Structure 1
Amino acid sequence: MNRWAIDIDRAAIDRAALVDDPETPLAAGEIEVAPVLIAITANNVTYAALGEPMGLLGSDGGYWDFFGPRDAPGRLPVWGFARVTRSAHPGFSQGDEFYGYYALASHTRLLPERVGAHGFVDASPHRAHLPALYNHYQAVSGLADYDAADRDLWPIFRPLYLTGWLIADQLDDERDHGAASVIVTSASSKTACGFAHAFREREARPELVGLTSPASAAFVGGTGLYDRVVTYDAIETLDAGTPSALIDIAGDAGVAKRIHAHWGEALKLSMVVGATHWEARAGFGGQGRTGFFAPARMAKRSAEWGGRVLNERVGAAWRRFMADARALSAIETREGADAALAAYAEVVAGRADPRVGTVIALGHRPGLTAPAPSA
């Protein structure tokens, strides 16, 4: 199957199938890219679980909207590297490589605008109402903090570390809401590890508590990122009188209810970041719960510091994280569309090993450098 996509049932995200995705002509100004190295992590489960419009991506946007119409099966967004295979835009040639946000498919069509040495913005009309952060594509040749030796770590950690860094920055900016303890659910997840790494760089900070399953407790403890590691069945052993903040990456309604009930008014912040426990997320919005949204935080800091300063700070922190990242995750490289489907099934079912980061290497079929645009 040279051209393929993975279709996901929007109403039951554990149902997915590999399908043919035939080639169609490009319109004037469009390019087609083929992902060559992508990651599939618990973060992708969050994208699927929050695929429908829920207010997170604006008043009328969901993660499914990036790569498909609403009357079609869902196309999962993934992060990674892709190369141009066809171009109807004068500024692009076959083989040009970019880091960014793509569909879980053999090919993704984009409409570049604001093209420069560092990349471009996808101006496809169906993405105009979606957050700009996801629409930026960075030329690999222009990435100031890219090291080819870390190439396999980028799809896995770059977007998740950025999210974690922004959460840590927000807590610091907001003086931790007066908390003496910060509690992180799904502490084995890549996002949680990125957050913990950034959070621990502070000279003065609250205690950091990682909540995880008994099966993952040894791994989480071995990362050295948390001051304490506690399993979900032992939540009530923690001191309910300690002013605390919850960073909820799991999105498990049952766990969140227990935390709220145990701490009561001593819970100073309850921030929902993800939905890695997607099957248990329903039924708890909860008074006092607040959502974290990385693009909004990026926009705030960009306005306050300027884009250059923000990029410099993130880049410096990223390089420090890269020095430790390989100790946090073994990299497993799989190849091909069937491997991508299997990896997605594993993360949705919660069977993925937290000690492993899975990247999918994909081949691509060469196309025409400059096909005639469709009429």
Structure 2
Amino acid sequence: MSNHQVAIQESVVLEVCKQDLAKTRVVSVPSTNLANGEVRLKVDQFALTANNITYAITGDMLGYWQFFPADQDPATWGRIPVMAFAQVIESRCDDIEVGERVFGFFPMTQFLTIKAGHITPFSFSDTAEHRHKLSSVYANYERVAKNPFYRKETQAYQLLIKGLYTTSWLIDDFMSDHNFFGASQYIITSASSKTSMALAFASRQRDNAKKLKLIGLTSPSRVAFVKSTKLYDEVFSYEDIATLDSGKASIFVDMAGSKTVLTSAHQHFAENIVYSCSVGATHINDLAAAQPSNEALPGAKPETFFAPTQIKVKSKTKGGAQLTAEIAQSMNLFIEEMAQHIKVKTITSIDELNQRYLSLLSGQADASAGLVFKFKGSGQDGVYELST
């Protein structure tokens, strides 16, 4: 059994109020001794994107608050999951060695203790009771050394893109499985978000006989940036929806979750919206999910896309290894593309992390910046500390 003893300082974690996402707090997380089968992971960097805002907004509906429940008053406070790289610094599990590097979901903190299970050469999972009801995808930790598509030089972009690119690739894969519902164009909201850009890129990469026209919708202040990426055939602001050609059968992919935008698009295209796909929720002051209407929208009824469901479907037909390889190869091409448009912005203090989170929440974040939080390196004798 590998059991490496380290001296660990008390860590801190950023938490948000579930009822008021603009209210945050930083709380201490005391260190505990490991039980048999447990592994302690030390995060060195994680990404902060609009995806994390979606996790918070849909935390109750889709179970994101269950990933890492708060120790104090969990009914009120929650820990938003983020994608991170981490290292095993202590292990009481025979099959997991100290020093191994992993990738997966973490709270916004430096240390996480998990109960390791479902161990394969490629990954292991957290089998703690509070994660039992989650999709296995959300409790999985990839063993980086066994990933042939990992690139050290692009790891910051992997943090920013990997989780969301899988979702975007699977959306387009789902549409392809259904022959794009007979549509001739995609209409994609929140076009400046990395998830939307990833969908546009995945669609362009797919070798299908029916190429769809890609239309990006975004806020007026971001139209120029979105056009500069050249990922969409056309880009419009939300205010210009009524000027679009309503005579074409269209797939509507809603990454914004705005009641106003959703209603405007459905009313304009009416029955020519042949499939309406709800994915994200970033327009916190105008959420469609929070404003149910008794009047049915024209066109296809909006349906929520759940990536793990499509993963199960395609894993059966392609096999898990082949599916992973296809997504990873496509993602690495997308990273090359995004490096031309998105510059990594490194955050090192908990105060700035909080400020950047609030900017994302308010929709004021710079679309051309990719936010990566990095912790200080280790000190002597394995003592780690948070940069403040």
TM over 0.5: yes
Out of 232, 237, 253, which is 1:231 matched to?
237
Distance 2:160 2:330 in 1: 16
Report the equivalent of 1:152: 156
Q: Determine if the alignment matches structure 1 residue 172 to structure 2 residue 185.
A: no
Report the equivalent of 2:21: 13
Aligned CA distance change for structure 1 residues 181 and 356 (closer, same or farther; 3 Å): same
Q: Which amino acid aligns with 1:278?
A: I
Q: CA deviation at 1:368?
A: 9.6
Distance 1:272 1:366 in 2: 46
Report the equivalent of 1:122: 126
Q: Determine if the alignment matches structure 1 residue 333 to structure 2 residue 340.
A: no
Distance 2:18 2:123 in 1: 31
Q: Residues 16-165 of structure 1 correspond to what in structure 2 (within 5 A)?
A: 16-52=24-60, 54=61, 56=62, 62-68=63-69, 70-71=74-75, 73-165=77-169
Deviations for 1:20-74, whole angstroms, at most 9, x for unmatched residues?
Answer: 112123222111212111000000000000111x2x4xxxxx1000100643510
Give TM-score, length-normalised by structure 2: 0.89
State whether residues 2 and 365 of structure 1, in contact with CA within 8 Å, keep that contact through their aligned partners in structure 2.
Answer: no
Out of 176, 182, 186, which is 1:182 matched to?
186
Out of 351, 363, 368, which is 2:376 matched to?
363
Distance 1:320 1:344 in 2: 28
Identity %: 32
Q: Determine if the alignment matches structure 1 residue 309 to structure 2 residue 322.
A: yes
- The Cα RMSD (Å) is 1.9
Deviations for 1:139-176, whole angstroms, at most 9, x for unmatched residues?
Answer: 11111101111111111011111111111111111111
Q: For this pair of structures, how many residues does the alignment match?
A: 362
State whether residues 77 and 102 of structure 1, in contact with CA within 8 Å, keep that contact through their aligned partners in structure 2.
Answer: yes
Report the equivalent of 2:266: 260
Distance 1:37 1:99 in 2: 10
Q: Residues 284-323 of structure 1 correspond to what in structure 2 (within 5 A)?
A: 284=292, 288-323=301-336
Matched position secondary structure for 1:200: helix
Distance 1:158 1:261 in 2: 34
Distance 2:95 2:20 in 1: 40
Q: CA deviation at 1:353?
A: 0.6
Distance 1:169 1:328 in 2: 25
Q: Which amino acid aligns with 2:29?
A: D
Q: CA deviation at 1:197?
A: 0.4
Distance 2:230 2:292 in 1: 31
Structure with larger RCO (C-alpha < 8 A, sep 6+): 1
**Is there any run of 5+ residues in structure 2 with no aligned partner, and where?**
1-8, 383-388
State whether residues 277 and 304 of structure 2, in contact with CA within 8 Å, keep that contact through their aligned partners in structure 1.
Answer: yes
Give TM-score, length-normalised by structure 1: 0.92
Distance 2:379 2:142 in 1: 21
Q: CA deviation at 1:364?
A: 6.3
**Is there any run of 5+ residues in structure 1 with no aligned partner, and where?**
57-61, 370-375
Deviations for 1:240-267, whole angstroms, at most 9, x for unmatched residues?
Answer: 2221110000001111011111111111
Distance 1:133 1:217 in 2: 34
Distance 1:189 1:243 in 2: 24
Report the equivalent of 1:59: none
